[in-house]
Amino acid sequence: MSRSPRIVLLPGDGIGPEIVAAARRVLEALGEFEFEERLMGGCSIDAHGVALTDEVLEDCRGADAVLLGAVGGPKWDTTDPDAPRPEQGLLGLRKGMGLYANLRPVRPSPALVGASPLREERIAGTDLLVVRELTGGIYFGDSGRAGDSAHDTCEYSVGEIERIARAGFAAAQRRAGGDGRRPRVTSVDKANVLETSRLWREVVGRVSEEYPEVELDHLLVDNAAMQLVSRPADFDVIVTENLFGDILSDESAMLTGSLGMLPSASLGEAGAPGLFEPVHGSAPDIAGRGVANPLATFLSAAMLLRHGLGRAPEAERIEAAVDAVLGQGLRTPDLVSGTVAQAPTPADPTPEREVGTGEMTDAVLAAL
C-alpha cells in the first residue's frame, strides 16, 4: 500500500491557527494524510528568534505539500531593520523551496456576486488567474541605507522571466475550456519607465512563440490596475513580476467582495512540494474570536489536492461544498452583505445567516 501523503501545516499567527485547524478537519474527512505541524512567522520568532528555522525549511522541502495559514501581527511590527520579521519566514520559504510561481484564481462564487464592490454587470463572468513571479524583483534585490537615504534594487534575469512566462502560458492552456475562446495571457509591466520591464516584455514576447495557441497582450501596470475594476471579466491569465503581482492580486481579491474567499498556490519545479495558503493576512483584529472566514483556506486545501497531490476529484468536492454552503446563505461576518433577512421568504428562500468559523466548517463537512 502506498504511504499517506505528508502535509506540513504552518498555522502561523493571528487567525492562522483557527483556519488551518478547520482546513485540517476538511482534509481528514477526505482521506488519509500524515500531518506535521510546525512554527513559522511571529510564533517562531518568539520560540527561536527567527521566523523560519533551517529545520522547518527542511521539513517543508521533504513534504508532499505545505499548507500555510498566515503570519504577522502588531507584536512583531518594527522599524528596526535588524530585528527579525515574520514575513522573512514567507520569503525564506519561497526562496528555500524554489517557489517562483504564485497562482491566484479569482472567480466570485455565484452566491457572492452581490458582495463585490463592483456592480453586478461588471463582475459577472469574471474568471481570471493572476500568475505572479515570486523569487525575483525588488523584494529580493540589494537594499540598504546610507545616511538619510535608502534604496531597494529591482533585478530580473532572462531565465527568471522565461520560467514564469512559461508558467503563465501553461496555465492559460490548462484553463482553456470548451467555450471556444482562445486562451489569453496579459503580461503586465512598466516598460515605459523601467529597464527590467523592457527586458520582461522582450522575453515574454519570445516565450509566447512557444505557445502559438495562446494570445498575448501587454498592459502597463497603472492601466492594468484600472482595467481590473472596469472590465475584470475580459481577463484570462495575468502574468506579472513580484511587486506588481503583489498589488494587482490584492486588488483582484477585492473583486470577490472578501479577502476571506481567495486561495493561492505557489509552485516550483515539477515534482517539488508546493505551498498553499489563503491570500489574506493574519487578521489580528479578529484573531481568537472564532469569526475568521475559513473558506479561502479550504479552497487552498483544494488547490493543494489538485496541484500538489494530483487529486482533482477531491479538490472539486471541497469547491462544490463551499459553493453549497454559500448557496444555503451561510456567511461569516466578513461576508455579510448588511441586508440579512430574518426568515426565509418565497422571494429569498435562503436568506443570509451569520455564522462563526466552527459552524461554517461543520456545514462544509456536512456538504462534502
Among 259, 324, 336, 365, binds ligand NAD (CB under 6 A): 259
Which of these ranges, 105-113, 290-298, 346-354, 359-367, lies near ligand NAD under the rule CB under 6 A?
290-298
Are 30 and 51 spatial neighbours (Cβ–Cβ below 8 Å)? no
Number of residues in the chain: 368
Footprint (CB under 6 A) of ligand NAD, residues 321-360: 332, 334
Provide the minimum distance between the beta carbon of 258 and ligand NAD in the complex, in angstroms, as a whole number: 7
Radius of gyration of the chain (CA): 21
In the set 190, 211, 236, 334, the catalytic residue is 190
Chain Cα centroid distance, residue 167:
16
Exposed, middle or buried: residue 73 (CB in 10 Å: 0-12, 13-18, 19+)? buried
Question: Position 85: which residue type?
Answer: R
Q: Is-catalytic flag, 139?
A: yes
Choose between 66 and 165: whose C-beta lies nearer to ligand NAD: 66
- Output DSSP code: residue 349: S
What cell numbers appear for 53 in the block?
528555522
Q: Is 131 in the site for ligand NAD (CB under 6 A)?
A: no
Which of these ranges, 51-59, 101-109, 119-127, 278-286, lies near ligand NAD under the rule CB under 6 A?
278-286
Provide the minimum distance between the beta carbon of 107 and ligand NAD in the complex, in angstroms, as a whole number: 18
Q: Is 60 in the site for ligand NAD (CB under 6 A)?
A: no
Choose between 90 and 106: whose C-beta lies nearer to ligand NAD: 90
Q: Are strands 237-240 and 263-267 parallel, antiparallel or unpaired?
A: unpaired
In the set 59, 127, 250, 362, the catalytic residue is 250
How many residues in the shown chain lie near ligand NAD by CB under 6 A? 21
Helix (H) or strand (E) holding 69: strand 65-70
Q: CA distances (Å), 71 to each of 14, 21, 247, 269, in order? A: 7, 15, 18, 25
Q: Is 260 in the site for ligand NAD (CB under 6 A)?
A: yes
Cα 332 to Cα 22: distance, rounded to the nearest angstrom: 14
Q: Is-catalytic flag, 250?
A: yes
Q: Is-catalytic flag, 95?
A: no
Cα 253 to Cα 264: distance, rounded to the nearest angstrom: 11
Question: Position 102: which residue type?
Answer: N
Which of these ranges, 135-143, 233-241, 288-296, 360-368, lies near ligand NAD under the rule CB under 6 A?
288-296
Q: Is 281 in the site for ligand NAD (CB under 6 A)?
A: yes
The phi, psi pair for 191, rounded to 5°, reads -70, -15
In the set 139, 211, 236, 334, the catalytic residue is 139
In the set 46, 142, 222, 234, the catalytic residue is 222
> Bridge partners of 265?
103, 276
Query: x-or-dash pattern for ligand NAD, window 67-86, by CB under 6 A?
Result: ---xxxx-------------
Residues in contact with ligand NAD by the rule CB under 6 A = 15, 70-73, 90, 259-260, 277, 280-286, 292-293, 296, 332, 334
Positions marked catalytic? 139, 190, 222, 246, 250
